[in-house]
Structure 1
Amino acid sequence: MHIDTHIDLLFDMKKSFRKFSPQSETGHVDLLRARKGDLLAGFFAIFPAENNYYIDEGVRRWLDLVSNPDNHLKKITSYFDLQTLINERKSQKIFEEREIGAIMHIEGSAGIDTSLNRLYVFHECGLRSVGLTWNEANHFATGADGDPNRGLTSEGKNLISAINDLNMILDISHLNDKSFWDVMKYTNISILSSHSNLRKYADHKRNLTNEMVQEIAKSNGSIGINFCKRFLSTKEDHPPNRFCAMEMIREIINITGSTDHVHIGSDFDGCSIPDDVKDISTMSKFFVELKERLHLEKLDIEKIQYKNVERIIKTIFH
């Protein structure tokens, strides 16, 4: 079983009008394939980004996904044996009864006003994980495509404080370098990098440097390796495949000196992935291969599969 910290299923369902159950002919994730891939829980991303500061559009997208009685998330969690993880009791239930857990995550803080009132409303609706930006700049921080000299803002510091007060998870994926380092200087909570790879293997500003990996490990956080082709490899003689992801996992283990700070954040339904990954149904096989390729002990592979993320999830229920 495994926990995946970035699945774009909600956005893909809305965009392509496909169904979650019993099985879809398109996309990377549905109920049957999730069960075949032994998914324990997923961070299901809500994507509100539109324009840099277009808060009203962000709110509209959020409410469309979570407040409408006919919304996709409620369809998924109510009808298809998924548990929305909003408290410790529900978190424990997925382990005891093997129901698939759904953690509500927002990919970028467009839609949150600078007074932060909407953050508290979204939290009441079940939001438990917050990414500060997508690739854009917003009131709070700067994404990978933004001004490299602009980082975390004073409003962003207030947002992080509120996230901490609400015991929510803070995700640094998509931040530009300056925002990343500003965040790490400002907070001492365990940091999640939900779906970020390594620049050493794919030289892209969305990926992490070795120094960033070390800093996340110092926070007792964890890094989710994703299967997006352009973030797996940029080398012409080394096309992106599942082994690129495995080698990045090996590298993070080497950088941090342990298996405590890496997991999978696939980006399924949100990007183009290698043919040899295919979809979420192959993940059980992926972890078997990973264990053999890296010569991992049982506890080590379990950490990568779910224990590292479980550790971070438990921080929001203390």
Structure 2
Amino acid sequence: MLTIDAHLDLSMNAMEWNRDLTRPVGEIREREKGMKDKPDRGNNVVCFPELRKGDIGIVVATQIARYVAPDNPLPGWHSPQQAWAQTQGQLAWYKQMETDGELTPITDLASLNKQVQQWTSTKDHTGSPIGYILSLEGADSMVTVGHLEKAYRYGLRAIGPAHYGPGRYAQGTNATGGLGPDGRALLKEIERLNMILDATHLCDDSFWEAMKHYNGHVWASHHNCRALVDHNRQFSDDQLKELISRGAVIGGVMDAWMLVPGWERGKSTPASTNCTLEVLIDHMDHICQLAGNADHIGIGSDLDGAFGKEQSPLEIETIADLGRIPSLLKKRGYSDADVEKVMHGNWLRFLRKAWA
């Protein structure tokens, strides 16, 4: 079944982790054996061959580069201009993958429908380009609000104003505070360009201010439920209901600390916390109970988003194991039609409405 994953940090893995995603997972792991610069070395689960194996024919793929002020301890760039340049290097990698036939850009209704038709017309996807929708995670690299139109011209179609900590346009995970005038101006430009606002990572203050000022299309590419794991990175039921009322789709994220309560980084393991894909279904089902239907959930795995097998659900050996989700949904009583919605239908419906 065609699967859509609405959040993968492909260019980050290629350009910062130095992973050749055209190679098999096992080969990438072998090359990283003994490396200690990143906590997930040798535990990667994403590569192009495994995406094809898992029938994952469309992804939302990110650019990401954080600006950090002198008093910000998070890793990042020391000026917005440097952050912009980093995203342009990531863009160059995506364009090279297009040239090599590994990826194909999806920027409008015609290219979306073409990718769906081409992907679903054959069972053997060896060599088939994977469709990607370009998204920016955190808006810090927008040197000015005017840079957003430049990004739209090169294919950017979704943007999350915040990531972790304080940002230039919004406040993110573990931060507090609203958007301010620059953030509100950014929202107006997102709406003018008919881009998708990604509410992921917005802190509560910035989330509610964004909902007050933004009238365009909004989704949460990779988010779980605060009712099940109590942390500000998750959405409260009130936030989820607000998104549902706006027709949003919320992508289930597979970073273990967002799936099970009490996760301790560097100590907990998927086995010790019983972090399985069943737990992901718990989060999805919670959203469905709030909505009264299965129209607002999808997959936004975030796999290899600075974590690997060591912090993924037990069943995930590679991203192809997303194919285990349909049987788990059916086990919970979800119909075949609902399963199709989760695997691709809800994201397609959202995009077709946004780009009509």
Q: What is aligned with 1:105?
A: 135
Residue 51 of structure 1, CA deviation: 0.8
Are positions 1:94 and 2:129 aligned together?
Answer: no
Answer whether contact 1:5 1:264 (CA < 8 A) is retained.
yes
Are positions 1:281 and 2:320 aligned together?
Answer: yes
Q: What is aligned with 2:34?
A: none
Are positions 1:301 and 2:339 aligned together?
Answer: yes
- Which of 288, 292, 295 is the matching residue for 1:253? 288
- Residue identity in the other structure for 1:246: I
Answer whether contact 1:188 1:219 (CA < 8 A) is retained.
no
Cα distance in 2, alignment partners of residues 58 and 243 from structure 1: 38
Residue 187 of structure 1, CA deviation: 1.8
Q: Which runs of 5+ in 1 are unaligned?
A: none
Residues 53-98 of structure 1, C-alpha deviations (whole Å, 9 max, x = no match): 83112111111111xxxx3212323323422111222111111101
- Residue identity in the other structure for 2:298: H
Cα distance in 1, alignment partners of residues 206 and 256 from structure 2: 25
Cα distance in 2, alignment partners of residues 218 and 24 from structure 1: 40
Are positions 1:125 and 2:151 aligned together?
Answer: no
Answer whether contact 1:6 1:195 (CA < 8 A) is retained.
yes
Answer whether contact 1:77 1:102 (CA < 8 A) is retained.
no
- How many aligned positions are there? 310
Answer whether contact 2:191 2:215 (CA < 8 A) is retained.
no
- Which of 29, 36, 39 is the matching residue for 2:53? 36
TM-score (norm 2): 0.83
- SS of the residue corresponding to residue 194 of structure 1 reads coil
Answer whether contact 2:225 2:234 (CA < 8 A) is retained.
yes
Percent identical among aligned pairs is 25
Answer whether contact 2:256 2:312 (CA < 8 A) is retained.
yes
Cα distance in 1, alignment partners of residues 201 and 116 from structure 2: 30
Cα distance in 1, alignment partners of residues 232 and 18 from structure 2: 32
Residues 182-236 of structure 1, C-alpha deviations (whole Å, 9 max, x = no match): 1112123332111111112211110111111101000000111100010001147
Q: What is aligned with 1:134?
A: 163
Residue 139 of structure 1, CA deviation: 2.5
TM-score (norm 1): 0.92
Q: What is aligned with 2:244?
A: 217
Q: Which moved more, 1:170-179 or 1:48-57?
A: 48-57
Q: What is aligned with 2:36?
A: none
Q: What is aligned with 1:76?
A: 97
Answer whether contact 1:21 1:80 (CA < 8 A) is retained.
no
- Which of 67, 72, 97 is the matching residue for 1:50? 67
| Alignment RMSD | 1.8
Q: What is aligned with 1:7?
A: 8
Residue 238 of structure 1, CA deviation: 4.8
Residue 285 of structure 1, CA deviation: 2.0
Q: Which runs of 5+ in 2 are unaligned?
A: 30-43, 70-77, 120-128, 264-271
